[in-house]
C-alpha cells in the first residue's frame, strides 16, 4: 500500500515534466454551450460560454478548413465568466473582414482557444460544420467524387448531368494525363434571384462561379433543358481538373489564362464544335484582322462582352489547333511541364518547337492572316491574379439574349489556373479559387459545365411547387447547427 502511495505523486511529477504544464490546469477553464447559427448567404454566428477560477483575458475562434486555418479573436470585457460570440461575415469577398465568403458544400471544424490571467489555456473539442444554402430544399445525387445538387426539376435532370460528368472528367483527365481529386459539389440554381443572392459582388452578366480550392461550383440554369447545365458543368469541371493537377503555387500562376479557358471551352461542347455565339465574334475578328496577340490573354480577359466572347473563342481555337497539329501526347507533355512549374514559353518551345508567339502566328497562318513580327511588340501587363483564384473567369454571353452592359472585373473575381497544395495558416479560405462565368440572363440560355462519378446514391428533398406564374416556390428557413 505504501508503494502505491509513492507511485501516484511520482506519476504526477513525471506527467508535469513531460507536458510542461500543471496537471490541474487542464480543468481550470471550461468551455460550454458551443453553438453555430448559419444564416446563408449573410453570416455564420459562433457562440460559447467560458468560465475559469481566474479572469479570462483571451478567446480565439479557430476554424480549420482542408489546408487553411482562420483565427478570429473574440471581443469581451475580462471576467471569470464570459459569453463569447463571433459573427463570420459571408456577404463579402474581403478576407480581411471578419470571415469572408464561403461557398456551399464546404466543410470545416471549429474550436475555441481560451486563456485566463493565470496563464491557463484550453482548446475545446473540434466540432464539424458544413456551409449550405439552407433556404432551398435541394435534391442530390452523389458519390465520393462528386455531388450534384439541384431543385425545381425532376430526378432525370440531375441524373443526366451526373452521368455526363462521368465521361467528362474521365475524358479531361485522360487528355491531360491528370489524376483524380477530391469530392466536388456543383449547385444548380434554377431561379435567377436565388442564384444572384447566393454570392456577393456578382457582375450583372455572371451565370456561374467556380471555387477550385473549395471544390465548389455554383451555376445558374433553366430547369427544363439539362443540355445547358451539362455544358456548364463540363466547362467548370475542366477547370477543377486543372486546379487539382497544377497545385496552388507557381505552376498555377505560370499557366496562361487563355490555355485554361481554351481547355474548358474545348471540352464544353459536343465533338469540340464551337457554339455559334462564340464562333461569330472570332470570325469577325479574323475578317477584320483584329485578332489580339495571344500573349495579351495570359492574364484576365477583357471585361467588354464582345472582346470576352472573342477571347474565349480564340483560346478555344488555339487549344483545338494544338490537339490537331501536335496530338494528345504532345499536349500532355506540355501540361506535365506546367505541373513542374515551367514557364509557358519554355514549355511550348521544348515540346512544340515554338513559343506562345509562334503558336499565335501558326494560327494566323492557318486562317489566312499574315504573320506578325512580335520581336519588338509590347505585351500588355495582365491583371494581378489573387493567391487562391482559379478557373472559370468571365464565361461568354450567348448572343441574341438580353446582355447587360458589362462592368469592369476586379482581379479578386477573375480566375487563374490551379489546384490545392499546402497553404500557410491564417490564410483566408474564402478567396480560394473563385472564378466568374458570365451568361445571358434574358432567356437563361447559359454557358454551363458537367460532373463525374461511377456509382451513386440519390437523396431526395422536399420538392418545389410550381406557382401559377411559373416560378418555383421553395421553403425558406434558417438552420441552427
pLDDT digits (tens, 9 = 90+) for 98-123: 889 999 999 999 999 999 999 999 99
Distance of CA 202 to the CA centre of its chain: 15
> pLDDT band at 248, cuts 50/70/90?
confident
Residue 404 has a pLDDT of 29
Coil, strand or helix: which one is 22? coil
pTM of the model: 0.73
pLDDT, tens only, 150-186: 999 999 999 999 999 888 988 999 999 998 888 899 9
Enter the C-alpha cell of residue 362.
501558326
> pLDDT band at 338, cuts 50/70/90?
very high
Residue 436 has a pLDDT of 59
pLDDT, tens only, 302-334: 888 889 999 999 999 999 999 999 999 999 999
Q: Is the pLDDT of residue 385 over 80?
A: no
Enter the C-alpha cell of residue 236.
467548370
Residue 386 has a pLDDT of 32
Residue ranges of domains in the chain: 23-130, 139-473
CATH 2.60.40.10 holds for 23-130? yes
Residue 93 has a pLDDT of 85
Residue 99 has a pLDDT of 87
Residue 101 has a pLDDT of 93
Q: Which CA distances in Å does 7 have to 12, 13, 44?
A: 9, 10, 49
Residue 378 has a pLDDT of 57
Q: How many CB atoms sit inside 10 A of residue 324's CB?
A: 10
Give the residue, 142 or 387, on which the prediction is more confident.
142
Q: Is the pLDDT of residue 254 over 50?
A: yes
Residue 437 has a pLDDT of 56
pLDDT, tens only, 394-411: 344 344 333 322 222 222
The backbone region for 196, taken as left when phi is positive above 0, alpha when psi lies in -120 to 50, beta otherwise, is: alpha
Query: Does 41 sit behind a cis peptide bond, omega within 30 degrees of 0 on the bond before it?
Result: yes
d(CA 291, CA 298): 14
pLDDT, tens only, 49-99: 999 999 999 999 999 998 789 999 999 999 999 999 999 999 998 877 788
64 CB burial (10 A radius; 0-12, 13-18, 19+): middle
Residue 390 has a pLDDT of 30
d(CA 299, CA 288): 24
Residue 243 has a pLDDT of 92
Q: Is the pLDDT of residue 149 over 50?
A: yes
Residue 474 has a pLDDT of 34
Q: How many CB atoms sit inside 10 A of residue 7's CB?
A: 10
Place of cell 468571365: 394
> pLDDT band at 20, cuts 50/70/90?
very low
Residue 96 has a pLDDT of 72
Q: Is the pLDDT of residue 454 over 90?
A: no
d(CA 232, CA 27): 54
> pLDDT band at 458, cuts 50/70/90?
very low
88 Cβ contact partners less than 8 Å away, ≥ 6 residues apart: 43, 44, 45, 46, 63, 72, 98, 99, 100
Residue 379 has a pLDDT of 52
pLDDT, tens only, 175-231: 999 988 888 999 999 999 999 999 998 776 678 888 888 999 999 999 988 999 999
> pLDDT band at 388, cuts 50/70/90?
very low
Amino acid at each position: 500500500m505504501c508503494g502505491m502511495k509513492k507511485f501516484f505523486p511520482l506519476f504526477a511529477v513525471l506527467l508535469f515534466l513531460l507536458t510542461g504544464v500543471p496537471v490541474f490546469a487542464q480543468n481550470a477553464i471550461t468551455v460550454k454551450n458551443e453553438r453555430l447559427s448559419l444564416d446563408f448567404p449573410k453570416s455564420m454566428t459562433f457562440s460559447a460560454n467560458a468560465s475559469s477560477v481566474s479572469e479570462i483575458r483571451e478567446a480565439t475562434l479557430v476554424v480549420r478548413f482542408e489546408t487553411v486555418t482562420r483565427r478570429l479573436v473574440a471581443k469581451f470585457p475580462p471576467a471569470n465568466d464570459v459569453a463569447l460570440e463571433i459573427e463570420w461575415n459571408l456577404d463579402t469577398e474581403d478576407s480581411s473582414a471578419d470571415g469572408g465568403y464561403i461557398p456551399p458544400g464546404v466543410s470545416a471544424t471549429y474550436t475555441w482557444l481560451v486563456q485566463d490571467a493565470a496563464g491557463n489555456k484550453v482548446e475545446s473539442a473540434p466540432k464539424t460544420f458544413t456551409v449550405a444554402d439552407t433556404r432551398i430544399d435541394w435534391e442530390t445525387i452523389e458519390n465520393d467524387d462528386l455531388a450534384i445538387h439541384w431543385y425545381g426539376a425532376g430526378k432525370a435532370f440531375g441524373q443526366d448531368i451526373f452521368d455526363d460528368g462521368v465521361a467528362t472528367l474521365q475524358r479531361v483527365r485522360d487528355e491531360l494525363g491528370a489524376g483524380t481529386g477530391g469530392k466536388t459539389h456543383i449547385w444548380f440554381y434554377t431561379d435567377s434571384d436565388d442564384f444572384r443572392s447566393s454570392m456577393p459582388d456578382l457582375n450583372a452578366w455572371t451565370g456561374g462561379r467556380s471555387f477550385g480550392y473549395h471544390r465548389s461550383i455554383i451555376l445558374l440554369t433553366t430547369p427544363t433543358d439539362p443540355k445547358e447545365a451539362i455544358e456548364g458543368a463540363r466547362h467548370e469541371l475542366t477547370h477543377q481538373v486543372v486546379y487539382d493537377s497544377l497545385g496552388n503555387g507557381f505552376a498555377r500562376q505560370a499557366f496562361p489564362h487563355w490555355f485554361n479557358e481554351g481547355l474548358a471551352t474545348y471540352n464544353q461542347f459536343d465533338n469540340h464544335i464551337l457554339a455559334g455565339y462564340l464562333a461569330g465574334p472570332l470570325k469577325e475578328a479574323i475578317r477584320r484582322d483584329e485578332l489580339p496577340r495571344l500573349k495579351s490573354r495570359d492574364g484576365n480577359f477583357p471585361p467588354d462582352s464582345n472582346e470576352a466572347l472573342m477571347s474565349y473563342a480564340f483560346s478555344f481555337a488555339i487549344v483545338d489547333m494544338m490537339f490537331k497539329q501536335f496530338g494528345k501526347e504532345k499536349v500532355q507533355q506540355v501540361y506535365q511541364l506546367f505541373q513542374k512549374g515551367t514557364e509557358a514559353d519554355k514549355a511550348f518551345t521544348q515540346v512544340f518547337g515554338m513559343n506562345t508567339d509562334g503558336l499565335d502566328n501558326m494560327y494566323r497562318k492557318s486562317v489566312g492572316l499574315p504573320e506578325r513580327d512580335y520581336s519588338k511588340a509590347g505585351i500588355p501587363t495582365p491583371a494581378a491574379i489573387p493567391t487562391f483564384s482559379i478557373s472559370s473567369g468571365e464565361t461568354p454571353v450567348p448572343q441574341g439574349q438580353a446582355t447587360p452592359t458589362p462592368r469592369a472585373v476586379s482581379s479578386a473575381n477573375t480566375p487563374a489556373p490551379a489546384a490545392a497544395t499546402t497553404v500557410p495558416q491564417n490564410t483566408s479560405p474564402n478567396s480560394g479559387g473563385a472564378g466568374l462565368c458570365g451568361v445571358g440572363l434574358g432567356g437563361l440560355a447559359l454557358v454551363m459545365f458537367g460532373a463525374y462519378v461511377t456509382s451513386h446514391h440519390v437523396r431526395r428533398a422536399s420538392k418545389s411547387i410550381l406557382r401559377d406564374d411559373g416560378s418555383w416556390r421553395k421553403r425558406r428557413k434558417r438552420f441552427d447547427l
